[in-house]
């Protein structure tokens, strides 16, 4: 996503030189969100999610090389490929994204145990996800939660095993976590909370998952969604600084001149939030464009006030800002109706907000409200919590 957007931006900004896009997936750059939602449920192809249609790359002289980059040779300014070839660069942008964390338990390599990142992963999962099948979803972060919802929607029974008490609790807090518990339970998902899978069993194919607390969850498929690690293997042995991703400054420049990074793999010095590595689509898109402009010599800081969304069943969630630790959570709206905005404050400063199902009511518009919250966050505002909680005090 980030690499494709960067190539597009370079051309839009008038760069006429050679652009080579190296990637080991066969498809042109695309957005992954439908892989846990509409595409997984068979409701949509990926054509609407391409950064640019396949023909654009040829028409705009962007060379796509379908290969794995194995090493960056900084001294010779070369990217080495798995096929023994190498490509010379003047400027290099690294957008290798993330790799799924693997569950290191016995049976994790049994057929029927899936993870989800690529189209091929999704297609393989779809084959096994027949209506009436039983599945185990391991991890209830965003991807686990969305997969649990989509599988349920296509008639697959889901048991979801999660270490905490509630889905998304570590990112959104216990209040919103509790709402997500209700949403998944009402849809028929069995939440196996406070537990973890210690083993998969089956004769030649997965038949059950065994948990630490001794549950035996019979299943025909399992999906492991326990987070990602930044894909930084190709930088091993180089002097490019890496610490939870590729360290870049506010303008997406790495510690080595002429080399830039963006997207899930980049750990960015954000002018507002400090060091932050973001694993979301909107950032991949906007940071890819920002990094391209930096490659062309711009010194501008990338200060995007982060946003992301998640769709689960009919529920639409949006998030703006960034916060890891907060000391006050303020709720506007109704937990019972599942129509709410939650505000996260740290020492009185509004740092982030999450919205759930605020669209559809003429008085409430989720996009407007989140944009208004974003402006307050960008200004590092200290809003009165009573006003935040009060529906009659318009956020806009
Ligand atoms: C199933 C799923 C659903 C998602 N849903 C949402 C959502 O609803 N909302 C949201 O905000 N975000 C969502 N995301 C996250 C979003 O897709 C990512 O943040 C985004 O794709 C990151 O873009 P990127 O360019 O950094 O990495 P990617 O898009 O992952 O691209 C990295 C590319 O680099 C390639 N690559 C890696 N190493 C090498 C190498 N050595 N040589 C060659 N190629 C290499 C990879 O194969 C890949 O093609 C979802 C992610 C997944 C997996």
- The predicted model gives 257-281 an average pLDDT of 97
Q: What is the 3-state secondary structure (H, E, C) of the chain?
A: CHHHHHHHHHHHCCCCCCEEEEECCCCCCECCHHHHCCCCCCCCCCHHHECCCHHHHHHCCEEEEECCEEEEECCCCEEEECCCCEEECCCEEECCCEEECCCCCCCCCCCCEECCCCHHHHHHHHHHCCCCCEEEEECCCHHHHHHHHHHHHCCCEEEEEECCCCCCHHHHHHHHHHHHHHHHHHHCCEEEECCCEEEEECCCCCCEEEECCCCEEECCEEEECCCEEECCHHHCCCCCCECCCEEECCCCECCCCCEEECHHHEEEEECCCEEECCCCHHHHHHHHHHHHHHHCCCCCCCCCCCEEEEEECCEEEEEEECCCCCCEEEEEEECCCCEEEEEEEECCEEEEEEEECCCCECCECHHHHHHHHHHHHHCCCCCCHHHHHCCCCCCC
Q: Is residue 305 part of a domain?
A: no
Atom of ligand 1 nearest to the CA of 117: 53
Q: How many CB atoms lie within 10 A of CB 299?
A: 9
Tell me the pLDDT tens digit for each residue of 369-383: 899 999 999 999 999
Report pLDDT for 396. 80
The verdict on 190 and 119 lying in the same domain is yes
**Domain range spanning residue 110?**
102-226
The model's confidence at residue 395, banded by pLDDT at 50, 70 and 90, is: confident
In the chain, how many domains are there?
3
Q: In the structure, what pLDDT confidence band is assigned to residue 24 with cuts at 50, 70 and 90?
A: very high
Would you say the CB of residue 96 lies under 6 angstroms from ligand 1? yes
What's the pLDDT tens digit per position in 61-115? 999 999 999 999 999 999 999 978 999 999 999 999 999 999 999 999 999 999 9
- What is the reported pLDDT for 360? 61
Give the pLDDT of residue 367.
Answer: 75
C-alpha of residue 169 to centroid of ligand 1, in Å: 23
**pLDDT (tens digit per residue) in 137-146:** 999 999 999 9
Q: Which of 192, 182, 188, 186 is nearest to 140 (CA)?
A: 192
Domain of residue 321, CATH code: 3.30.390.30
pLDDT at 130: 96
Rounded distance between C-alpha atoms, residue 324 and residue 330, angstroms = 16
Residues 263 and 120 in one domain: no
Instruction: Assess whether 72 and 87 both reside in one domain.
Output: yes
Closest CA to 122 of 28, 221, 48, 220: 221
Q: Are residues 188 and 152 in the same domain?
A: yes
> What local confidence, expressed as pLDDT, does residue 278 receive?
97
In a domain, 303, yes or no: no
**Is residue 120 domain-shared with residue 203, that is, in the same domain?**
yes
- Identify the pLDDT of residue 361: 64
Residue 368's pLDDT is 85
Ligand 1 centroid – CA 225 distance (Å): 14
Where residue 289 sits, what CATH number does that domain have? 3.50.50.60
- Does residue 1's CB lie within 6 angstroms of at least one atom of ligand 1? yes
Q: Please indicate, yes or no, whether residues 60 and 202 belong to a single structural domain of this protein.
A: no
- Count CB neighbours of 311 within 10 A: 16
Atom of ligand 1 nearest to the CA of 98: 30
Among 268, 295, 322, the domain boundary falls at: 295
For residue 281, how far is its CA from the centre of ligand 1 (angstroms)?
8
For residue 83, the model assigns a pLDDT of 79
In the prediction, which pLDDT does 383 show? 97
Residue 377, number of CB atoms within 10 A of its CB? 25
**Which single residue is written with the structure tokens 């980059």?**
69
Strands 78-81, 216-218: pairing is: unpaired
- Confidence at residue 268, expressed as pLDDT on a 0 to 100 scale: 98
CB of 71 within 6 A of ligand 1: the answer is no
Q: Is 67 inside a domain boundary?
A: yes
**Is 171 a domain residue?**
yes
Contact yes or no for 320/370 (Cβ under 8 A):
yes
Q: Are 100 and 194 in contact (CB under 8 A)?
A: no
- Are residues 112 and 218 located together in one domain of the fold? yes
Alpha-carbon span 44 to 41, nearest angstrom: 8
**Span from the CA of 4 to the centroid of ligand 1 (angstroms):** 11
Q: Are residues 272 and 329 in the same domain?
A: no
Report d(CA 142, CA 310) in Å as an integer: 7
Q: Which of 264, 295, 326 is the last residue of a domain?
A: 295
In angstroms, the CA 264 to CA 289 distance is: 14
- Read off the pLDDT of each residue in 43-51 and give the average, rounded to a whole number: 97
Query: Using an 8 Å Cβ cutoff, are 279 and 98 in contact?
Result: yes
Whether residue 240 lies inside any domain: the answer is yes
Last residue of a domain, one of 188, 208, 226: 226
Q: Is 22 in the pocket of ligand 1 (CB under 6 A)?
A: yes
The reply to whether 385 falls in a domain is yes
State the pLDDT at residue 362: 60
**CA 363/CA 346 separation, integer angstroms:** 29
Report the chain's mean pLDDT, rounded to a whole number: 96
- State how far the Cα of 195 lies from the Cα of 215, in Å rounded to an integer: 9
210 plus 245 within the same structural domain:
no
Give the pLDDT confidence of 145-177 residue by residue, as tens digits.
999 999 999 999 999 999 999 999 999 999 999
Binning pLDDT at 50, 70 and 90, where does residue 385 land? very high
Q: Does 160 reside within a domain?
A: yes
Arithmetic mean of pLDDT, 215-223: 98
Q: Are strands 259-261 and 19-23 parallel, antiparallel or unpaired?
A: unpaired
Rounded Cα distance, 253 and 267, in Å: 11
Mean per-residue pLDDT, 188-201: 98
- 217 plus 132 within the same structural domain: yes
Q: Are residues 108 and 196 in the same domain?
A: yes
What are the residues whose beta carbons fall under 8 Å from the beta carbon of 151, sequence distance 6 or more? 40, 129, 135, 137, 158, 223
308 within a domain of the structure (yes/no): no
Q: Say whether pLDDT at 365 is over 80.
A: no
């Amino acid at each position: 996503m980030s690499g494709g957007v960067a190539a597009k931006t370079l051309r839009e900004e008038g760069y006429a030189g050679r652009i080579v896009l190296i990637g080991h997936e066969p498809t042109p750059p695309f957005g992954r969100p439908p892989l846990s939602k509409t595409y997984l449920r068979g409701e949509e192809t990926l054509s609407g999610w391409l950064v640019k249609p396949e023909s654009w790359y040829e028409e705009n002289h962007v060379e796509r090389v379908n290969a794995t980059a194995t090493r960056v040779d900084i001294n010779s300014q070369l990217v080495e490929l798995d096929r023994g070839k190498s490509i010379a660069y003047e400027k290099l942008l690294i957008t290798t994204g993330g790799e799924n964390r693997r569950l290191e338990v016995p049976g994790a390599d049994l057929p029927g145990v899936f993870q989800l990142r690529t189209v091929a992963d999704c297609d393989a999962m779809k084959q096994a996800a027949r209506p009436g099948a039983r599945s185990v979803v391991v991890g209830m972060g965003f991807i686990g939660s969305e997969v649990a919802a989509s599988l349920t929607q296509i008639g697959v029974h889901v048991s979801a095993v999660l270490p905490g008490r509630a889905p998304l609790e570590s990112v959104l807090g216990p209040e919103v976590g509790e709402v997500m518990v209700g949403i998944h339970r009402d849809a028929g998902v069995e939440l196996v909370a406070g537990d973890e899978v210690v083993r998969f069993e089956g004769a030649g194919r997965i038949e059950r998952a065994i948990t630490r607390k001794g549950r035996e969850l019979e299943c025909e498929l399992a999906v492991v969604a326990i987070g990602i690690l930044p894909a930084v293997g190709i930088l091993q042995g180089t002097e490019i600084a890496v610490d939870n991703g590729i360290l870049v400054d506010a303008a997406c420049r790495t510690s080595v001149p002429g080399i830039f990074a963006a997207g899930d793999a980049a750990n960015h010095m954000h002018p507002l939030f400090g060091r932050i590595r973001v694993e979301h689509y909107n950032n991949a898109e906007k940071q890819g464009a920002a990094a391209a402009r930096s490659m062309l010599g711009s010194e501008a800081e990338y200060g995007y006030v982060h946003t992301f969304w998640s769709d689960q069943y009919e529920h639409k969630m949006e998030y703006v800002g960034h916060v890891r630790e907060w000391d006050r959570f303020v709720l506007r709206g109704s937990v019972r109706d599942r129509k709410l905005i939650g505000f996260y404050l740290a020492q009185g400063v509004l740092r982030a907000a999450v919205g759930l199902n605020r669209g559809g009511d003429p008085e409430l518009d989720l996009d407007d409200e989140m944009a208004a919250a974003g402006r307050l966050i960008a200004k590092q505002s200290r809003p009165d919590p009573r006003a935040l909680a009060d529906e009659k005090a318009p956020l806009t």
